[in-house]
Amino acid sequence: MFETLSGRLGDIFDTLRGRGVLNESDVGAAMREVRVALLEADVALSVVKDFVEKVRARAVGQEVLKSVTPGQMVVKIVNDELVAMLGGEAEELFLAAVPPVPIMMVGLQGSGKTTSTAKIAKRLTTKDRKRVLMASLDTRRPAAQEQLKILGQQINVATLPIIPGQMPLDIAKRAMEAGRLGGYDVVMLDTAGRLHVDEGLMSELDAVKFAAMPAEILLVADALTGQDAVNVAKQFNDRLSVTGIVLTRMDGDGRGGAALSMRAVTGRPIKLVGTGEKLDEIEGFHPSRVASRILGMGDVVSLVERAQEMVNEKDAEALVKRLKKGQFTLIDYQKQLQQMRKMGGMAGILGMLPGVGKLKKALAGANIDESMLVRQDAIINSMTARERENTKIIAASRKKRIAAGSGTSVQEVNKLLKQHQQMADMMKKMGKGGKGMQLPPGFDGLLPR
Ligand SMILES: Nc1nc2c(ncn2[C@@H]2O[C@H](COP(=O)(O)OP(=O)(O)OP(=O)(O)O)[C@@H](O)[C@H]2O)c(=O)[nH]1
Ligand SMILES: [Mg+2]
């Protein structure tokens, strides 16, 4: 799911994150690419326009330009807007009604209603410990009722006995009655499909709805049909007021346009997604998880949030000013170290960065030692104020004193000085508006080379 879009957005954001500073035209260019990427993923045009506009408005505002990590900030904004577009919070099936709670399944022919009925029944039985009765109201397709019966046997869920010749509305009434008498928690009503939305189908479904008063009317839509699925959902919703959407065949849909537009176009939440033919291949739909899967951003979002909490804006501005003059003292270096420690150390930061699977392994191999952050802090604390301002005066005798004072070795003092120098050089480049800064401040210089 979402592979194409994920790849495209990943490239766009990599470029953006590579920048130290972002201006309006950087953001504008990135947003044009995001727009194309979404359209290629088959997201509805109206949804794309609205989305891009919202992101742009926030991204060119104060919050990004002042931020210390502007590229990541943009990623976070995109993430937040994506979550909102997908409906915000995950929505569960609504079952808090007087049992037996009726759930009605509707949708076009072959969209996956019967399969989804069985999948949901199985999920409710095993996960929620509900007693479920399934009934097929499909009198149109030969053997449709038998299909549900067989599925019921496979998953050990009761089905309403078949009475040949009975009409859908009467089956629905009988199912509810059997549900009451049998003490069931949930009664699932699987309906017949049609090739197109037509009036005959709609009035039949409307009558069933009126008789059964379902707590949920779930529209089952085939994700592979892309925008058509969204249009069909809209038509069903206009006529029947569906309560939620089950999106099937997500396993085969690399683009994901239907999933992305569904909520925004219909105003109804995707409650479940089908991810295969097997009867346990159904999942809840979690907007925030979907967004982070699409962005492939590990947990950049919480990284940015934590960084925002930690970094005092004034400090950051002062640092930027000094960087522009090419000044990056050991005191600045120490502040970066302390910030890293607050953010959960190396492992904490790495765990939240996108695409660091490989890097993480490399680091594990290089035996990076978390306690190094603590020892370097101690080394800097053992220096005099003048030494911290100007490392050039730290000659051999001073190194010995510093090593002894911090309980480290001269080699470690040398290593710290070298890393500081590397970082200062890099910061100087950045301060001049150069590229090449992908990791948070203070991180690059500590990587093994
Ligand atoms: N790969 C995949 N196949 C699915 C999924 N959901 C359903 N199918 C398949 O889609 C086909 C049709 O599913 P049905 O559940 O019979 O569809 P229906 O909407 O009940 O069809 P009608 O009753 O004829 O309208 C079956 O072969 C299912 O196995 C899914 O999430 N992924
Ligand atoms: Mg069916």
Q: Is residue 403 part of a domain?
A: yes
Residue 15's pLDDT band (boundaries 50, 70, 90)? confident
The CATH number that applies at residue 152 is 3.40.50.300
Q: Is 284 in the pocket of ligand 1 (CB under 6 A)?
A: no
The mean of the pLDDT values for the chain is: 82
Domain end call among 58, 89, 120: 89
What confidence score (pLDDT) does residue 446 get?
39
Pick 438 or 45 by higher pLDDT. 45
Measured CA distances, 406 to 211, 304, 376, 380, 400 (Å): 80, 33, 9, 8, 10
pTM beyond 0.85, yes or no: no
Supply the pLDDT for residue 157. Answer: 97
Which residue puts its alpha carbon closest to atom 21 of ligand 1? Answer: 110
Domain contains 145: yes
For residue 449, name the pLDDT band (cuts at 50, 70, 90). Answer: very low
The answer on 147 and 272 residing in a single domain is yes
Ligand 1 contacts CB of residue 405 (under 6 A): no
> Ligand 1 centroid to 137 CA: how many Å?
16
Count: domains in the chain: 3
Nearest CA to ligand 1 atom 17: 112
Residues 7 and 108 in one domain: no
If you count them, how many residues does the chain have? 449
* Residues 333 and 405 both lie in one domain: yes
Note whether 168 and 275 are same-domain residues: yes
Residues 183 and 222 in one domain: yes
Cβ of 276 below 6 Å from ligand 1: yes
Q: What is the pLDDT of residues 276-298, one digit of tens each?
A: 999 989 988 989 888 877 876 54
**pLDDT tens track for 67-121:** 556 777 788 888 889 999 999 988 999 999 999 999 999 999 999 999 999 999 9
Do the domain assignments include residue 281? yes
Using alpha carbons, select from 132, 75, 80 the residue that is nearest to residue 355. 75
Pick the atom of ligand 1 nearest to 281's CA.
Answer: 31
Residue 19's domain is classified under what CATH number? 1.20.120.140
Specify the ligand 1 atom closest to the Cα of 248: 31
Residue 96 maps to a domain? no
The one-character DSSP state at 90 is: -
* Domain region containing 27: 3-89
- Residue 325 CB burial class (10 angstroms; 0-12, 13-18, ≥19): exposed
- Taking CA atoms only, the protein residue closest to ligand 1 atom 27 is 277
Is the confidence at residue 138, as pLDDT, over 80?
Answer: yes
Gap from CA of 170 to ligand 1 centroid (Å): 25
Q: From the CB of residue 399, how many other CB atoms can be counted at a distance below 10 Å?
A: 19
Whether ligand 1 lies within 6 angstroms of the CB of 232 is answered as: no
**For residue 443, what pLDDT band results from cuts at 50, 70 and 90?**
very low
- pLDDT at residue 336, as a whole number: 73
User: From the CB of 71, is ligand 1 less than 6 Å away?
Assistant: no
